Structure 1
Amino acid sequence: MAIKLIAVDIDGTLINDQRQITPKTVAALKQAQAAGIKVVLCTGRPMTGVEAYLEQLGLNNQDQEYVISFNGALAQSTSGHVLVSYTLSFADYADWVNYCLKTGVHSQIETRDYIYTTNQNLSYYTIYESELVSMNVRYRSMDQMAREQGNYVIAKAMMVDTKGKIDHALANLPADFKKRFSIVRSEDFYLEFMHKNASKGQTLDRLCQKLHIKPEEVMALGNAQNDNSMLEFAGTGVAMGNSVPATLKVADITVADNNHDGVAEAVNKYALN
């Protein structure tokens, strides 16, 4: 069945290690658009970290083009109309951040406008994330967060620390967390917590229903655990050559890595053939 929608992760997939979309990949995705295929960026990033790539692909500020951000917590048109929104309650956040404090893991939340952290000594990984997604960081004490809780729309919460600390925190998670949150590890140093219904796969499913596109008409490309749900949803799940083992396992197809135009390879072979 012909591909009608291509869902593409950004980091480690669409962009190379220099954070660039190569000319070959741009050309392939624009050719897909010209053929009437929807191109939807599906990312853990907030919109501030997506807009430059949407612009490069000619997708920004349009009512009929779409993006999935925050690992599925938000789906919207690239002009800003929200179609799907899953957010965390302050009560869930408070329990989660208390666990982070107990285990000595740095933490942060992301809203549509800012990264917030209760860690006065910022984690290196918070600073890295801020630069990566072009979003400013604001420090708030937990007391301030509680007093101002009505001001925060929490898209996702993140543990941001060394691999060893994240491993320990993950191994000792309270049992109810797995029921209360959707949990994905997007990097060795990032463990992300969203609303229990939020995932790239589930939100992509909802978007496709709105667009009357069947799963078998979807090709999804990714490289990490947070991409697995959309690769499993799509009729054609594509893992990049640089993918983690769990993503390679769920994929239907493996292509070249993100530094060797794997996205262009997949589009040319399986969407434009």
Structure 2
Amino acid sequence: MTTSPTALPAGIRPGGRYADWHQPAPAYVVCDVDGTLIGPQVDATDEVVEAVVRAQDAGLRIGFATGRARLGVQALWDQLRTGGPHLLHNGAEVRADGRTVAAWSLTVDQVARLLTFARERDDAYLEVYTDDGYWVSAWDERARTHWEILGHEPLGVLEDPANLAGQPIPKITMTVFETAAVPAIIDGITSAGLTPGQADSPRAPELHFVNATHPDTDKGRALARAAEHLGIDLSRTVAIGDAANDLSMLQVAGTAIAMGQAPAEIQEVAHLVVPDVDAHGVAVALDAVRVWREQG
């Protein structure tokens, strides 16, 4: 059951689509990672951890929605112990309770095309993700900060994409070393017939990340698949994010919540806006969602 919104909890203000929102009886919350669950620090703050515990104790399912791979969120999962479903690789993989429930893989030919593109540039390099880890187009020390965020170094330099035949390849990431190069990288990914998604991290402000995924993949489609897995309507889902790669899930979620530091175009598609990541905005959101669930 839903009701028209009344007074909003402290710390929450209307977003651009507030007039379209109805206070939900939520069942499932997906949270972006970088800039939402965590800021520049490695771990979630105590305030966020405690809000996650309260939400899960109230019966809410909590998941990550991130451009990262499984290994890239392992430390956060160890801290929060959320059951998911989790939307990984910008939605290219949906995992729940330790197993993959949906996935969209790239082809070896698509990898080869982007590998050639990456090797023609000196302002970016490429990472190809598989179940075991990730391969790179070059051993580029400028990306070491990203390797540290991921928690492990590359498996090695990918010399021949054909060696990946038969393996699931959920995502390619172009790590970009110069801000001015980002549009060209996005164009190159689009020209390869893949979907680009920029997903920068406050832990590496000197780098930019543009993910390349299957054209049928984004966080919005993955959220719909996760809701289907749980047997719930999209109206009972909540999405919380702060960046361009969160737009698709904010557009389809029953309740779309933008972080306070999100750009204006992200806040415009959200129903609600919470404080920024440094003020534990996701904790404010989770506590409000928990109350709405208890009231429903």
TM-score bucket of the superposed structures, by smaller chain? 0.7 to 0.9
Q: Residue 181 of structure 1 aligns with which residue?
A: 194
- Answering whether residue 212 of structure 2 is matched by residue 212 of structure 1, we say no
**Higher normalized contact order (CA 8 Å, seq sep 6+, divided by chain length):** 2
TM-superposed CA distance for 1:257, in Å, is 0.8
Contact 1:103–1:169 (8 Å) recurs in 2: no
The CA distance in 2 between the partners of 1:232 and 1:123, in whole Å, is 37
Contact 2:185–2:210 (8 Å) recurs in 1: no
Gaps of at least 5 residues in structure 1 are none
Q: Residue 47 of structure 1 aligns with which residue?
A: 70
The CA distance in 2 between the partners of 1:52 and 1:108, in whole Å, is 20
TM-score (norm 1): 0.88
TM-superposed CA distance for 1:212, in Å, is 1.4
Q: Residue 181 of structure 2 aligns with which residue?
A: 165
Cα deviations by residue, 1:62-97 (Å, 9 ceiling, x for unpaired): 6xx432211111111242x11011111010111122
Q: Residue 37 of structure 1 aligns with which residue?
A: 60
Report the secondary structure of 1:137's partner residue: coil
Contact 2:52–2:283 (8 Å) recurs in 1: yes
Gaps of at least 5 residues in structure 2 are 1-23, 201-206
* Identity across matched positions, percent: 25
Report the secondary structure of 2:35's partner residue: helix
Equivalent residue in structure 2 for 1:100, among 107, 118, 121? 118
Equivalent residue in structure 2 for 1:128, among 135, 141, 145? 145
Q: What is the aligned residue count? A: 261
The CA distance in 2 between the partners of 1:193 and 1:154, in whole Å, is 11
TM-score (norm 2): 0.81
Q: Residue 153 of structure 1 aligns with which residue?
A: 168
Q: Residue 203 of structure 2 aligns with which residue?
A: none
TM-superposed CA distance for 1:152, in Å, is 4.3
The CA distance in 1 between the partners of 2:103 and 2:276, in whole Å, is 31
Q: 1:174 to 1:204 in 2, by over 3 A?
A: closer
The CA distance in 2 between the partners of 1:215 and 1:271, in whole Å, is 17
RMSD over aligned CA atoms reads 2.0
Report the secondary structure of 1:136's partner residue: coil
